[in-house]
């Protein structure tokens, strides 16, 4: 079957309660957890909003069932929102909560966790838990590949927020032009 993460970029704020300073409380759509305060921040992260798993306890989602034996690849971004040397623990579990793969991750984009040779018919659950400080979680996706291969078979596209993109350019007339290591006094 097809594995798919619902609301992996946390842009669906449906059902969340807006608080102060960009924070939302509640459980992000598609996810389950044990807490719900300060769940999502709409102003932080490389591409806001981001999830705050430190307040959601064991943040998890069932993402589907495998048709055939496959490697399962979980990809996500971790950010250090409050400069506190964050650590986020990630798991790939089966439907009975047995661990297929786990790892601890610090600040960085495109983090990956791999569960190798997961048998056909296995229900796949992903789980995140903050273990140190306040990590930000974003851009969660899951894919499968042939066992031992590096090519993804069924990568899931990330949901793209409908927010407009602003492009800006700055012209600074007081800049000096530098050519071949020499400085001129001519404005650029």
Residuewise pLDDT in 10s, the chain (188 residues) = 589 999 999 999 999 999 988 899 999 999 999 878 888 988 876 678 999 998 888 999 999 999 999 999 999 999 987 677 889 999 999 999 999 999 999 999 999 999 999 999 999 999 999 998 889 999 999 999 999 887 765 443 333 344 444 444 444 455 455 444 444 455 54
- Of the chain, the end-to-end C-alpha distance in Å amounts to 58
- Report pTM: 0.77
Report the C-alpha gap between 28 and 40 in whole angstroms.
Answer: 8
Rounded CA separation 21/45 (Å) = 14
**CB of 13 within 8 A of CB of 49?**
yes
């Amino acid at each position: 079957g097809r594995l798919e993460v619902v609301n992996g970029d946390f842009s669906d704020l449906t059902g969340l309660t807006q608080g102060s300073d960009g924070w939302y409380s509640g459980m992000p759509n598609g996810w389950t957890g044990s807490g719900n305060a300060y769940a999502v921040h709409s102003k932080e992260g490389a591409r806001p909003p981001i999830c705050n798993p430190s307040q959601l306890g064991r943040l998890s989602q069932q993402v589907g069932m495998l048709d055939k034996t496959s490697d399962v690849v979980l990809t996500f971004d971790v950010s250090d929102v409050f400069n506190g040397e964050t650590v986020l623990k990630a798991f790939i579990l089966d439907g009975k909560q047995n661990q297929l793969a786990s790892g601890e991750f610090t600040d960085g984009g495109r983090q990956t966790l791999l569960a190798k040779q997961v048998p056909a018919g296995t229900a796949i659950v992903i789980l995140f838990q903050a273990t140190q400080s306040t990590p930000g979680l974003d851009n969660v996706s899951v894919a499968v590949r042939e066992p031992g291969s590096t090519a993804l078979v069924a990568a899931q596209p990330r949901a793209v927020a409908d927010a407009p993109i602003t492009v800006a350019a700055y012209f600074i007339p007081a800049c000096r032009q530098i050519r071949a290591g020499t400085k001129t006094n001519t404005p650029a």
